[in-house]
Structure 1
Amino acid sequence: MSLDTVVEDIRDEARARAEEIRETGETRADEIVSEARREADDIRSEADREVERTIEQEREQKLSSAKLEAKQARLEARREVLEEVRNDVEAQIAEIDGEERESLTRSLLDAASEEFDAGSVRVRGSEADAELLASIVGEYDGFEVGEPIDCLGGVVVEADGSRVRVNNTFDSVLEDVWEENLRDISARLFEE
């Protein structure tokens, strides 16, 4: 065998080995690229799912926030309507006059007078009712008209010698009736 043949055999073997290494390298490179693509697809899919979850959470939060704002706006509107109704009722009560006002004032004073024994008792009411109170209070022994107070009508009765004070103003009666019936009033106004 000649040296040229040996050299040529070594070259052929080296070329074959180089081709085998290149093919193995290409196969391994293809596997690495495929694995990298799968991982990239997995990462992209997970990122897409995470984005969808984030979007859904934000949508839910915004929806909840919008519902809460709407509920607050509805409650505020109801509160305003109830306040208007209450103001209308107060205005109608303030306009009560004549025999009806006298009868109501007399009834409130009768109810309050039951809490007091003989002695000096002061009856206070609206400045507009000064004459009415003077005419009614004269019928009660030991009762006198005191300084006017800011109210829609009715009476506040106080005894000098005790801590007893009875508030039978139209305002206090309205407050009691309003609180007792607020749920029914609301239900009727807003058809609940």
Structure 2
Amino acid sequence: MSLDTVVEDIREEAHARAEDIRSEGETRAEEIESTAQADADEIVADAEADVEREIEQLREQRLSSAKLEAKQKRLEARRDVLGEVREAVEAELAALEGDTREELTRDLLDAASAEFDEGDDVNVYGRDEDADLIESIIDDYDGYEYAGEYDCLGGVVVESDQSRVRINNTFDSVLEDVWEDNLQEISNRLFEQ
């Protein structure tokens, strides 16, 4: 074996070894590249899923916000309508005249009188426009006196120092009680769905 042959054998072996190393390197590089691509694909998929979740969450928030705003506007509109109905009822009560006003005022005074003892000095207050009406009604009661104006739609406020009792039987107080007791029914009738 000559030196040239040995050199050639070493060279061939070195080339074969280099080819094996290069082949292993390429295989390893392909594995690394494949792993990196898989990792990149997973990162992209996760990012896309995160973006989709955020979009869905944002859409749900906006939808929920829009629904809440619409509900608030409906409630405001209902409140406005109920306020208008209440004002219309108050105007009707204030405009009552003649026998109807006298009958209601007399009934309210009778109901209040049940709270006072016989012989009590009783002061009766009412709407300024009803002063003559109240004075004519209290002529039927002993110890009752018209004591002046009370800011109301009608009816009476009755009090006595002896009993330390004050009864508010105004149209306003009766309306307030009826309104509160029947608000749900009123609302249901106005806003049947």
Residue by residue over 1:6-40, the C-alpha shift from the partner in whole angstroms, topping out at 9 and shown as x without a partner, is 11211111111111111110011001101111111
Q: How high is the sequence identity, in percent, across the aligned residues? A: 67
Poorly superposed stretches of 4+, deviation over 3 Å: none
Paired amino acid for 2:109:
L
1:180 aligned partner: 181
Counterpart CA distance in 2 for 1:33 and 1:4 is 41
- In the alignment, what sits opposite 1:63? 63
**What's the offset of the Cα at 1:114?**
1.2
Q: Distance in 2 between matches of 1:134 and 1:8?
A: 141
The residue correspondences of 1:80-159 to structure 2 (distance < 5 A) are 80-117=80-117, 118-159=119-160
Q: In the aligned structure 1, how far is the partner of 2:120 from the partner of 2:21?
A: 123
In the TM superposition, what is the alpha-carbon distance from 1:167 to its structure 2 partner? 0.9
What is the CA-CA distance between 1:162 and the residue it aligns to? Answer: 2.2
Deviation at 1:177, TM superposition (A): 1.0
Deviations along 1:56-103, one digit per CA (max 9) or x if unpaired, are 122112211211111111111101100000000000110001121111
Deviates more, 1:86-95 or 1:103-112: 103-112
SS in 2 for 1:147: strand
Q: How far apart are the structure 1 equivalents of 2:164 and 2:68?
A: 48
Using structure 1 for the length normalisation, give the TM-score. 0.96
Cα deviation for residue 4 of structure 1 reads: 1.8
TM-score by length of 2: 0.96
- Asked whether the equivalents of residues 120 and 163 of structure 2 are also in contact (C-alpha less than 8 Å), the reply is no
* 1:48 alignment partner in structure 2: 48
Larger mean Cα displacement after TM superposition, 77-86 or 177-186: 177-186
- Tell me what 1:39 maps to: 39
Amino acid aligned to 1:101:
R
**Is the Cα–Cα contact under 8 Å of residues 128 and 149 in structure 2 kept in the other structure?**
yes
Structure 2 residue identity aligned to 1:87: E
Whether contact under 8 Å (2:105, 2:154) holds in the other structure is yes
Instruction: Give the match's secondary structure for 1:146.
Output: strand
